[in-house]
Structure 1
Amino acid sequence: MLESFRKKICDSGADSALVFRTNQFLQIPRLSDHPMHKLSGFTGSSGTLWVGLEDIALFTDGRYLLQAEKECKDRACVYEYDALYHHIQSHSRVVLIDPWQVSKEQEETMCVQYAPCEVRFKKLFSFTQEPAQTLFNLPALGRSSQSWKKWFQHPILVCNSQDLSFLCRLGTKNTFLPTLQGYGLGWWDNALQGIQWLIGVDAPIIEKESLPPSITCLPLERWKRIVTEKFSKVYYIPKQTPLGLLEWFPQGYVMEPWNLQEKRCIKTQEELDAIRQAHILEGVAFTRFLYWIETQGVTGNFTEYDASVQLEIFRRDSPYYQGPSFPTISAAGPFGAMIHYIPLPEGKNYIQNGPYLIDAGGQYYWGTTDMTRSVWLGLETPDSLYQEDYTQVLQGHIDVAMGTFPKGTNGCVLDTLARNALWGAHKNYEHATGHGVGIFSNVHEGPIQLSAHSRTPLEPGMVLSNEPGYYRKGFWGIRLENLFSVETDQQEWLRLSVLSLAPFQRRLIQPKILGKQRISWLNSYHQKVFETLSPYLSSEITLWLQIQTRPYDV
């Protein structure tokens, strides 16, 4: 593929091309079908590939550096994102970009950022057709199309799959991201008193149940013909509309403002109630897994991938479970230091005594989960340095969890709070402390983020992760993650309410380092874990959980 791709670059009068991790819907697709993986071997979800006529360079963030260096060895040089602009300016005269991989907004930005390099937009890839999508209706959970009436007085192109599924109240059986992959045109119908939808898809649609009469799904070419013939004026959202799609609609007008993302990330009370139920189901499965990995997993017979399958088995005991919300990170020993390491089915890394990290999430019919635990397996005493690292990470987690903060506080403040204990020991981690989470949608939901770059104020109803970590290259990785909802504490103050339910490994915690206030929070959390989950567990696991959650003396 590389030689034919370079020939395409040369025949176009260019000397390089940029390849992004997205598909024609600006979503991150199945790995095996993506050009970036075929060209470089990289399996991460965040990266930009520069392909020259003689060499290749991959640019990614701190979460994937170790992974990228291993996967791209002998195929591409690996750099952090910060080096991308300089690399383009010093190595490219004319760079090609596929217009279906970038939005209209990105086009305008790139032409400025990459100067004096000339940017040309040319179709480079024929993306693999998505598999058949099985659709079903989602409950309203306090949402009404009346809320969006003012936006849809004119026909609007909605290309973001989360926005489209949210507005149509449709779910899918798609792996990891159960949202509708397609392009939607919506407009307000006064007779219907709702939004009428024409949705173009490039894959067969299977209706698990009858769709509302307001929704019509069509093959993409037929959709294109009907929309261009029927509508003389179409509005689009620059941030989410592929540049290639706008070539079909030269009559397009910019829709401003469009802040649906900011509105849907504030959950209704009905949604929050449903999310809590999903977390109970996930907590039961996750706790069963933690018991299994501690008591049966270290036999030399189970690989990291086998362990991830075992978690799936526990989850599928619930009829409401739909599938994982992302590929499970199951990492033994030094592989835990690769922040987004994902074991392969054919992998031969067996679970051994020592450090182990599990980061996994599930899609339930009414909620999305994401939780991480780090444990020390085997009967021998855990490494004292591992205990120290673990307890300092837990300090940061609890500092965020028990914090109160004024309305208007941005996520960057909580990110600093999570790092203070580690910074005091001259330690740090190369990822954000947290991200927003959807409801039967994307496990990474913008614009919420707990990071140094976050400028989005936290508001009641938001759901976010809290996942500080520490990674010793060649030894282990530690990350401790729960999901929380933001709620009102007093008139002008906010706090976090924990959603995730599973124990922290007791024998790794150094109480003297935690201090009384954090111990009090931990005791309260563990009491909640035990009281909520024990009715759904076997007597054997309940006894184990009782020991894990036994309160410390304050």
Structure 2
Amino acid sequence: MFQSFTSEADPAKGAARLAALRERLASEGLRGFLVPRSDAHQGEYVAARDERLSWLTGFTGSAGFAVVLPEVAGVFVDGRYRVQVRAQVDLAAFTPVDWPEVQPGPWIASHLAAGIVGFDPWLHTADEIAKLETALQGSAVSLRAVPNMVDAIWPDQPDPPMGRAFVHPVALAGATGEQKRTRLAGILRETGQKAAVITLPDSICWLLNIRGADVPKNPVLHGFAVLHDDARVTLYAEPAKFDDAIRAHMGAHVTLRPPAAFVPGLHTLTGPVRVDKASAPLAVSQELEAAGVACVWGDDPCKLPKACKTPAEIEGARVAHLRDGAAMVNFLAWLDAEAPQGGLTEISVVKALEGFRRATNALHDISFDTICGAGADGAIIHYRVTTDTDRPVRTGELLLVDSGGQYHDGTTDITRTMAVGAVGDEERACYTRVLQGLIAISRARFPKGVAGRDLDALARAALWMAGQDYDHGTGHGVGAFLSVHEGPQRISRLSEVPLQPGMILSNEPGYYREGAFGIRLENLIVVTEAPPLGDNRPQFTFETLTFAPFDRRLIDLAMLSPGERAWIDAYHAEVLAKIGPRVEGAARDWLQAACAPL
């Protein structure tokens, strides 16, 4: 499916929809309602049916939430979306709120003297609601689980997705579904748990070696699952999505039941039942407790095994990145030839890049809507171009392109920022600092037990020394032909998860100057065991998976240390060696020049 450039949200209707929601709330005796971006599976990317936040407010970012009260409707977004939200919502109706600096509990208490705030328990986790209830203690505001109030006023809400499920072969997965089920069931028995409820679509797909088509750009299946301590799985998903081949693939120990049977199925379980407080809908634990089934909090048992890729998955990622790297080089060579002539726009650039990926004849889909920001649009961190915002690519400006592909053997995510013609010394200095941050992470060697929070500062040090920074994490986990954003691993000051071999992450420092330009550089990396050194303490390092050159015109050589300069030359030599044989003609000539030693 090619990327769409129309905006599904309609900010012009936001005020009317907000008024309708407030009228509905009043009729139900509610003084407020929480509108999250998430669906019942806590996915970052959601199906059209679950786009409640964008339908109501006009904000289309992939993270955020709204709190609707009688006199104010706050749209809470983090640093990635603060420029975007002000451009998308009706500011006379909605108030952007800087989150997490401002937390919803104190904000609600300061804007509502008393009353009940409703929430849909299928769209919020137990952890989330517990924190909010704690924050509201001492106020006259309380929370109540209610049917979804946005659904009640959305007359043409799309139907639930019905994408067909398909087999993910064991040769790419590196382990059979039976092996995975048996391994995790053993963990349940060791902890005395009879079952675990699994609600994350990528966890279900990983566990059963299947993929789906229910969420744009992410090959996942909507459903819920229960893993029993004898390695059986009950999968609650639309049976029409499964043909005979995939049913046979899952085997006799996987029972398929319709989604409507999920809640009754929970009531029949024997406890203790593991539920992930951070990812499962609150409704799951509520239903277990209502049925008298003992519920215990514990991590989704698939989360960490899924994050630590098998050798087959890592090799698949390597192959996918070489294929994707060749598509990127063809694109960058084309861009370098076409952009100075004028006539390109952000949309034409996005279409061209997708065309180069599709020309590989191996692309399943792009891994997210391509971010292509020319000039000032590059400062909108998660900018998505539409026909209304399409901007010319002008000489003398920077062009930021963040994109990726879903291939059956791996998921890619790469960002490059390019100069179109000559740009100023300030842009070059900022670019070089961002590149220094990427190099610092790439060269890192660290002890076992180190988490992403311990490495995040390495990517920011050069920017900090210039009084600069960026308002997003340095890296996110990446799935194996699954979600392009995958937990629990991150490179972020918020992440306490120790990094382990096999974890794939992004390495993407940036710098953004509102109204002027944006810079981000991104490679994917995988955690590996470091060669012995010194007193042979267990240490890890990173292997780079992404191969495409950086823009030499934007590198200020005087700012680089000898080690940084040597890293760039070695990286470019590897790009030329790995990608050179995969491209031809003008693209190969361009690559040869782009990878020449500094």
- Alpha-carbon separation, structure 2, partners of 1:273 and 1:255: 37
Of the structure 1 ranges 500-509 and 233-242, higher mean CA displacement relative to structure 2 is found in 233-242
- Alpha-carbon separation, structure 2, partners of 1:517 and 1:137: 46
User: Residue 369 of structure 1 is aligned with which of 408, 412, 415?
Assistant: 412
- Alpha-carbon separation, structure 2, partners of 1:266 and 1:229: 33
1:262 aligns with 2:262: no
Q: Give the CA deviation at 1:357.
A: 0.3
Question: Where in structure 2 are the equivalents of 1:457-536 lying within 5 Å?
Answer: 457-489=498-530, 490=532, 491=536, 492-536=538-582
- Alpha-carbon separation, structure 1, partners of 2:126 and 2:465: 44
1:120 aligns with 2:136: no
Identical aligned residues as a percent:
30
Q: Give the CA deviation at 1:159.
A: 0.8
Question: Where in structure 2 are the equivalents of 1:85-124 lying within 5 Å?
Answer: 85-92=105-112, 93=114, 94-115=116-137, 116=139, 117-124=141-148
User: Residue 387 of structure 1 is aligned with which of 428, 437, 440?
Assistant: 428
Q: Give the CA deviation at 1:235.
A: 2.3
Of the structure 1 ranges 123-132 and 81-90, higher mean CA displacement relative to structure 2 is found in 123-132
Of the structure 1 ranges 60-69 and 195-204, higher mean CA displacement relative to structure 2 is found in 195-204
- Alpha-carbon separation, structure 2, partners of 1:474 and 1:230: 57
Aligned-partner residue type, residue 390 of structure 2: K
Q: Residue 453 and residue 245 in structure 1: after superposition, are their counterparts in 2 closer, same or farther (change >3 A)?
A: closer
* 5+ residue gaps, structure 1: 190-194
- Alpha-carbon separation, structure 2, partners of 1:449 and 1:229: 36
Which residue in 2 is equivalent to 1:417?
Answer: 458
Which residue in 2 is equivalent to 1:426?
Answer: 467
Question: Where in structure 2 are the equivalents of 1:32-51 lying within 5 Å?
Answer: 34-51=51-68
Of the structure 1 ranges 98-107 and 469-478, higher mean CA displacement relative to structure 2 is found in 98-107
1:80 aligns with 2:98: yes
- Alpha-carbon separation, structure 2, partners of 1:456 and 1:364: 27
- Alpha-carbon separation, structure 2, partners of 1:170 and 1:53: 45
Q: Give the CA deviation at 1:257.
A: 3.6
* 5+ residue gaps, structure 2: 1-16, 152-156
Q: Give the CA deviation at 1:65.
A: 0.5
1:221 aligns with 2:260: yes
Which residue in 1 is equivalent to 2:174?
Answer: 142
Aligned-partner residue type, residue 283 of structure 1: G
User: Residue 66 of structure 1 is aligned with which of 66, 69, 83?
Assistant: 83
Which residue in 1 is equivalent to 2:326?
Answer: 284
Q: Residue 279 and residue 54 in structure 1: after superposition, are their counterparts in 2 closer, same or farther (change >3 A)?
A: same
- Alpha-carbon separation, structure 2, partners of 1:22 and 1:432: 20
Which residue in 2 is equivalent to 1:192?
Answer: none
Q: Residue 133 and residue 233 in structure 1: after superposition, are their counterparts in 2 closer, same or farther (change >3 A)?
A: farther
Of the structure 1 ranges 289-298 and 48-57, higher mean CA displacement relative to structure 2 is found in 289-298
Q: Give the CA deviation at 1:285.
A: 1.2
Q: Give the CA deviation at 1:261.
A: 1.4
Say if 1:133 and 1:203, in contact at 8 Å, map to a contact too: no
Instruction: Name the SS of the counterpart of 1:264 in structure 2.
Output: helix
Say if 1:100 and 1:123, in contact at 8 Å, map to a contact too: no
Instruction: Name the SS of the counterpart of 1:296 in structure 2.
Output: helix
1:3 aligns with 2:19: yes
Structure-1-length-normalised TM-score: 0.93
Say if 1:433 and 1:465, in contact at 8 Å, map to a contact too: yes
Aligned-partner residue type, residue 515 of structure 1: S
Q: Give the CA deviation at 1:298.
A: 4.8
- Alpha-carbon separation, structure 1, partners of 2:131 and 2:443: 40
Q: Give the CA deviation at 1:14.
A: 2.2
Q: CA RMSD in A?
A: 2.2
**1:360-414 deviations in Å (ceiling 9; x for gaps):** 1211102111110000113xx2211111111111111111111212222221222
Aligned-partner residue type, residue 425 of structure 1: A
Instruction: Name the SS of the counterpart of 2:232 in structure 1.
Output: strand
Q: Give the CA deviation at 1:202.
A: 5.5
- Alpha-carbon separation, structure 2, partners of 1:396 and 1:136: 40
Of the structure 1 ranges 330-339 and 512-521, higher mean CA displacement relative to structure 2 is found in 512-521
Q: Give the CA deviation at 1:231.
A: 4.4
Which residue in 2 is equivalent to 1:455?
Answer: 496
Q: Give the CA deviation at 1:232.
A: 5.4
Instruction: Name the SS of the counterpart of 1:375 in structure 2.
Output: strand
Which residue in 1 is equivalent to 2:161?
Answer: 131
Structure-2-length-normalised TM-score: 0.86
Instruction: Name the SS of the counterpart of 1:63 in structure 2.
Output: helix
